Amino acid sequence: MFKVLASMVLFAAAAFFAACSGAEPTAENANVAAEPTPLANAADYTDANLALADGVRVLENGETERAIEILNRAVEINPDLAEAYFRLGIAHSLIEFRDQMAAEDRVEPTETPANSKEKPAKPQSVLAFEKAVEAYKKLIDANAEDHNAYYNLGRSYNKLNEDEDAARALRQAVKLNPDDTEYQQELGAVLIKLAKYSEAVGVLKKSLEIDADNIEALELLEKAEAGQKRVSFTVMPGDDKRNANSNANAAANTATGSNTKPPANTAKPPEPRPTRTPPPPPAANRPRSN
């Protein structure tokens, strides 16, 4: 009996201490506890890279306004922090899209007067992406082999819809690091925007050779191939021959120069006004019939 009571006491004590101390720590709990918490005030940051990391984490958690505050602090500490500008562009784009959707839902949307001569101010997202372009160019000037800087420069141009510049930067990134599937994928997406479908097909096939499980690259490849087929379909089999004959005729007409008569006036003449039918002429003046 004594042993049973002792066992019950020990069990109760163990349960009590377990309740007080909480669950036994695991590897997952340890990781959660180790994750740093962003500072309460953005102004408290003194390390630009720390502010960037926290700003990205807050942005991914959906706290867009707070992310903008922290990322603004990051570029305030380091005005050349290119990635912080790029992330700011993303954050401002989300805010602008949200505000645009809200404006469209209003009964009486505000409109800019048609006779206004003032140019609309650039959106904050555009200003941030332009800053990102400048910062990534500085990185490239410092190291022409920085393929990651070329890649992000291309992404920044893409966000600004400057597609030719985006393709140029991404081609250089691919040239410097041809085995990166994301580089190939991003270039393929921009080439589709430029309707350069044949080049996009080759680039995206290369991306899938590197990573066969790249679903986004596979979807882009299907779009590129569909665009390639549309372009091929619009060129009929006889078009080349007809175009060649037309060019030959044009060349012949040019060669004859002044010997050729000017083209006749093909404009439709004005219709005559209705007139009365004249009386038949006298018998002497009537034309003879055979």
From first CA to last CA, the distance across the chain in angstroms is: 153
Q: What is the per-residue pLDDT for 73?
A: 97
- Mean pLDDT within 6-18: 41
Containing structural domain, residue 218: 143-236
- State the CATH number of the domain containing residue 50: 1.25.40
Is the domain of 99 the same as that of 156? no
Given a cut of 70, whether residue 1 has pLDDT beyond it is: no
Could you tell me if residue 158 is inside a domain?
yes
pLDDT of residue 248: 53
For the ranges 37-41, 211-215, 249-253, 263-267, the one whose mean pLDDT is highest: 211-215
For the entire predicted model, the pTM comes to 0.68
Higher pLDDT, 147 or 243: 147
Select the more confidently predicted residue: 38 or 274.
38
154 occurs within a structural domain: yes
* Residue (of 68, 52, 58, 191) closest to 135 by Cα position: 52
Contact of 128 with 74, CB cutoff 8 Å: no
For residue 225, what is the domain's CATH number? 1.25.40.10
Residues 85 and 158 in one domain: no
Residue 79 above 60 pLDDT?
yes
Residue 241 lies in a domain: no
3-state secondary structure of 100: helix
- Assess if residue 231 is contained within a domain: yes
- Number of domains into which the chain is organized: 2
